[in-house]
Chains A and B, each alone.
Chain A
Amino acid sequence: MTAGQAQAAIFDLDEAGRIVVAHLHLDGALLPILHALQERFGYVPADAVPLVADALNLSRAEVHGVLTFYHDFRRAPAGRHVLKICRAESCQAMGCESLVEHLAAEHGVTPGGVTADGRLTVETVYCLGNCALSPAAMLDGELIGRLERDGLDALVNAARGARP
């Protein structure tokens, strides 16, 4: 669901078609379809837009409009791992901005970007519902609380190094 690209498959039009069809019975199927495509491929490829539009009887512009409205949907592949770092008020009160600065200074990556080796995408998120344990982050769908510099370094190094 919000996992990184660890299990993402290479885009394949037939498979995308099957994913779309599997959701057509739903009322208001567009968001579930876009989520399912991103879950499978790690992003929503431009080639999938006409497919979705045809299946739902929408114009391509409408599908594109929805795709771009929501912050979750990516239109390009992400790094193999995705770190979402919370930058909302509670985490601000506990120093999340210094973690963001540290990421830039030590690991050369800013929110919205990916590390030079393409292994770790960093994204900003506004609240992960872990505000009593701020600062919070989420790595490939797993929540992390009371994040400190050392812990962040370990996460980044693991994501970029030994782990698949």
Chain B
Amino acid sequence: MTVVYIPRDAAALSVGAERVAKAIMAEAAIRGETITLVRTGTRGACWLEPLVEIDIGGVRHGYGPVTPADAPSLFDANFLSGGAHPLALGPVEALDWFAGQQRVTFARCGVIDPLSLAAYEAHGGLAGLRKALAIPSAEIVEAIKASGLRGRGGAGFPAGIKWATALAAESETKYVVCNADEGDSGTFADRMLMEGDPFSLIEGMIVAGLAVGASKGFVYIRSEYPHAFRAMAEAVAKAEDAGLLGPSVLGSGRAFAMELRLGAGAYICGEETSLLESLEGRRGQVRAKPPLPAIKGLFGQPTIVNNVLTLAAAPWILAHGPQAYAALGCGRSLGTLTVQLAGNVRRGGLVELPFGATLRRLIEEFGGGTATGRKLRAVQVGGPLGAYLPDSLLDTPLDYEALAAAGGMLGHGGVVVFDDTVDLAKQARFAMAFCAHESCGKCTPCRIGSQRGVEVIDRIVAGHERAANRAVLDDLLELMTDASLCALGGLTPLPVRSALAHFPEDFERPARGPTLRAAE
């Protein structure tokens, strides 16, 4: 019997994967073909979705992007045996787009049934956890330190150091909190992993719990991700049934329980202390640090807060050894980076590579240039607080230090491409408006400064006393950078400054009417 794989990842569903699955099953029934349909996550090649794969002698052959109307012609072409068809892609993993990647965290995503624990184990799952169960906590922490793993949520803080702090903190109760708020525009890796390989996050949470001495974990998932929430809920229930979660993890006698919580549409709740406030049932207002959450976090207890991808990398590191992980990447950015190619790009999706590939290589080789076919003008890296880079900076390698040196930040790895119709004054205004909209309100430079920022940019664009207003804007940017409590107010100047520096002409055009209309 032939096995057909069709994703049920939200991105694939958003372009019709469910209708395609139904059409293929209906056509199979009409033709009396028996096929087994396996629903997977996505491999991340969003541009090929809905991507239909057939297992032929252990090799996965792809067809895509498929529409429901293609079903009859696919059967006519004998696609179940890999027959020729205009949508035929051949062996999927041999496609340049995949062959050029190095999948570590996303090795299983899009390949297996995300809710099959057996498939998870058959593809290397649980090896890291078994290792962790066999060694003392301090050794787990040492392995994470030696791997060079840095937090993937944006700040790039060494995970091992955070874990060591929490391990050293004396307390009966400690927590592992997974930050699955993924608020940065242009990013979707956390979502894809939770939908496509949820057990890897569960395994990572348990490993983190063993490492720091915590027996309870929370995952804070943004409410914009209902599919991911459901996938995680199903996976947690299966893990409980299988004895992976509960009073005795894999029969070890050591307990670990997990609870999922839904965010409520506040970008600031991705900031770790705001997230903890939110989990405790309060307004998501940022806490002053110290105390560090690793010492005094959730409900006052030592807590490690880590991004989805940070936690999911831990089992691999234990299973393969820290050196294998540290052998990937460059400088102080070790391991793999999951780039999310988005915006105006022809072949958008998730690309996992060792740190250090250039933006140009990603956008041209993987992305295939702009979707509109127009000239690329700007690339925003690192979400709404990331810089807008011009073509001349595209040879910057993607690692934490190189991006910082170029006046930007890597953040969670989002790369948003804009063609030459973009207006950077409008984008700068949006950065300020977004900050005003999402500010937690705790400090004035952010809460009021961002509103002033919108007004001043409006005046500059409208041609009112440009030089004077530009000076006001510069002062404001400095104040926000220096005097904000957290990176929302502190980094909003980054997109604004980069727009001013690299695209000054957009702020100097003849006045265009009273105000700009932009998203607010």
Taking Cβ atoms with an 8 Å cutoff, the residues of A that contact B are: 1-2, 26-32, 34-35, 56, 62, 65-66, 69-73, 84, 87-94, 96-97, 100, 124-134, 136, 138, 141-146
| Interchain nearest-CB distance for A124 vs B (Å) | 7
The distance in angstroms between the C-alpha atoms of A1 and B473, with both chains bound, is 41
Chain A residues closer than 8 Å to B11, beta-carbon distance: 129-130, 132-133, 143, 145
Would A28 and B279 count as touching, CB distance under 8 A?
yes
The distance in angstroms between the C-alpha atoms of A28 and B185, with both chains bound, is 28
Q: Is B375 an interface residue (CB 8 A)?
A: no
The distance in angstroms between the C-alpha atoms of A26 and B227, with both chains bound, is 23
**Sample of 19 more A-B contacts, CB < 8 Å, known A28-B281, A130-B10:** A31-B262, A31-B264, A66-B283, A69-B283, A87-B519, A88-B519, A89-B185, A89-B384, A93-B416, A94-B344, A124-B519, A127-B183, A130-B11, A131-B187, A132-B341, A132-B345, A132-B348, A143-B13, A145-B11
| Interchain nearest-CB distance for B433 vs A (Å) | 10
- Partner of B188 from the list A69, A70, A71, A129 (CB cut-off 8 Å) is A129
Binary flags per residue of B177-196, CB closer than 8 Å to A gives 1, else 0: 00000111111101100000
Closest 5 CB pairs of A and B: A132-B348, A30-B281, A88-B185, A145-B14, A131-B342
The distance in angstroms between the C-alpha atoms of A65 and B183, with both chains bound, is 22
**Total residues of chain B contacting the partner, CB 8 A:** 65
Would A127 and B341 count as touching, CB distance under 8 A?
no
| Interchain nearest-CB distance for A119 vs B (Å) | 21
Q: Could you list 13 examples of A-B contacts with CB < 8 Å? A: A1-B226, A2-B226, A34-B264, A66-B281, A71-B265, A88-B185, A90-B185, A126-B267, A129-B11, A130-B10, A133-B49, A143-B10, A146-B14
Chain B residues closer than 8 Å to A89, beta-carbon distance: 185-186, 343, 380, 384, 416, 427, 430
Would A35 and B262 count as touching, CB distance under 8 A?
yes
- Partner of A131 from the list B183, B371, B416, B418 (CB cut-off 8 Å) is B416
Q: Is B280 an interface residue (CB 8 A)?
A: yes
Would A56 and B223 count as touching, CB distance under 8 A?
no
| Interchain nearest-CB distance for B414 vs A (Å) | 7
Would B371 and A132 count as touching, CB distance under 8 A?
no
- Partner of A133 from the list B229, B284, B348, B517 (CB cut-off 8 Å) is B348
Known contacts A65-B283, A89-B186; A126/B266 CB under 8 A: no
Q: Is B310 an interface residue (CB 8 A)?
A: no
Residue in chain A with minimal CB distance to B267: A126
Residue in chain B with minimal CB distance to A39: B262
Taking Cβ atoms with an 8 Å cutoff, the residues of B that contact A are: 10-11, 13-15, 46-47, 49, 182-188, 190-191, 223-229, 259, 261-267, 278-284, 299, 340-345, 348-350, 371, 380, 384, 414, 416-419, 422, 427, 430, 434, 438, 517-519
Interface hub of A1, A91, A100, A128 (most chain B Cβ within 10 A)? A128
Would A72 and B265 count as touching, CB distance under 8 A?
yes
Known contacts A71-B266, A143-B11; A127/B283 CB under 8 A: no
Would A133 and B265 count as touching, CB distance under 8 A?
no
The distance in angstroms between the C-alpha atoms of A145 and B417, with both chains bound, is 17
The distance in angstroms between the C-alpha atoms of A35 and B422, with both chains bound, is 38
The distance in angstroms between the C-alpha atoms of A133 and B224, with both chains bound, is 16
Would A32 and B371 count as touching, CB distance under 8 A?
no
The distance in angstroms between the C-alpha atoms of A30 and B259, with both chains bound, is 15
- Partner of A70 from the list B190, B265, B344, B519 (CB cut-off 8 Å) is B265
Residue in chain B with minimal CB distance to A144: B14
Chain B residues closer than 8 Å to A138, beta-carbon distance: 224
| Interchain nearest-CB distance for A97 vs B (Å) | 6
Would A1 and B229 count as touching, CB distance under 8 A?
yes
The distance in angstroms between the C-alpha atoms of A125 and B191, with both chains bound, is 16
Interface hub of A1, A91, A141, A145 (most chain B Cβ within 10 A)? A145
- Partner of A134 from the list B191, B282, B342, B350 (CB cut-off 8 Å) is B342
Would A131 and B186 count as touching, CB distance under 8 A?
yes
Would A70 and B10 count as touching, CB distance under 8 A?
no
| Interchain nearest-CB distance for B494 vs A (Å) | 13
The distance in angstroms between the C-alpha atoms of A126 and B11, with both chains bound, is 16
Chain A residues closer than 8 Å to B434, beta-carbon distance: 88, 126
| Interchain nearest-CB distance for B323 vs A (Å) | 33
Chain B residues closer than 8 Å to A90, beta-carbon distance: 185-186, 342-343, 414, 416
| Interchain nearest-CB distance for A59 vs B (Å) | 12
Residue in chain B with minimal CB distance to A71: B265
Would B13 and A142 count as touching, CB distance under 8 A?
yes
The distance in angstroms between the C-alpha atoms of A12 and B267, with both chains bound, is 32
Would A129 and B226 count as touching, CB distance under 8 A?
no
| Interchain nearest-CB distance for A82 vs B (Å) | 12
Would B224 and A128 count as touching, CB distance under 8 A?
yes
Chain B residues closer than 8 Å to A136, beta-carbon distance: 14
